Amino acid sequence: MTGRIEPQTGTAFELNHGQTLRVIDIEGEQVADLTAFARGDTTEWLSSGRSIDYANTIYLTTGHTLYSNRSRAMFDIVADDVGRHDFLLTPCSPETFRIIYKHEGHHPSCFENLATNLARFGIAPDSIPTTFNIFMNVQVGSNGALSILPPLSKAGDAIELRAEMDLIVGLTACSAEMSNNYRFKPIAYEVA
């Protein structure tokens, strides 16, 4: 299966244990937020805290495992052209744009796009956890300050994640200006 996520939109689909999800930055400098739930029990979800704890780094890449809130492996990262992704920040949301950017009125967001697409799997908006923000380039200063810089991904760069259980997956082409160097691009994905 292959898919294309248009700029500032998202999708959700099932992934079987053993399948590999390849996420491709078609044009470069585009973030894709990823979340996942155990298909049999959606109160088990992809956990930033568990994954960072067990990897002992905030920069997860090839060879690292992404864990659930129950400390079971959900994904293994099996290939990564970029080596810089974020797992600290929540998906951009209407509140992100209101609180940080003082934006008034509707603004497309990863949170809304995940909630809309995950609804048909019975997943409520409040169940959406911190996303694995593929290609997002967040630098941490020595004083703890965060800087959101343009992604390091170039056109055609990809990451591959192997599903370690049956999953429901949500995936976006991120809608936040700063995270994507102020230009919204599509994201491609392949399931094999």
Nearest Cα to Cα of residue 34 among 183, 136, 175, 171: 171
- The nearest distance, CB 92 to Zn ion, in angstroms, is 3
Exposure of 177 by Cβ count < 10 A (0-12 exposed, 13-18 middle, 19+ buried)? middle
Contact flag: residue 92 with Zn ion (CB under 5 A): yes
- The nearest distance, CB 89 to Zn ion, in angstroms, is 9
Sole binder of Zn ion in the list 5, 52, 174, 188 (CB under 5 A): 174
Secondary structure letter of residue 120 according to DSSP: G
Distances (CA, A) of 174 to 49, 69, 71, 134: 22, 24, 27, 10
- The nearest distance, CB 111 to Zn ion, in angstroms, is 8
Q: Which of residues 107-136 bind Zn ion (CB under 5 A)?
A: 110
- Give whichever of 37 and 184 is closer to Zn ion, judged by the CB atom: 184
- The nearest distance, CB 31 to Zn ion, in angstroms, is 6
Sole binder of Zn ion in the list 38, 176, 187, 188 (CB under 5 A): 176
- Distance (Å, whole) CA 135 – CA 176: 13
Site residues (vs Zn ion, CB under 5 A): 92, 110, 174-176
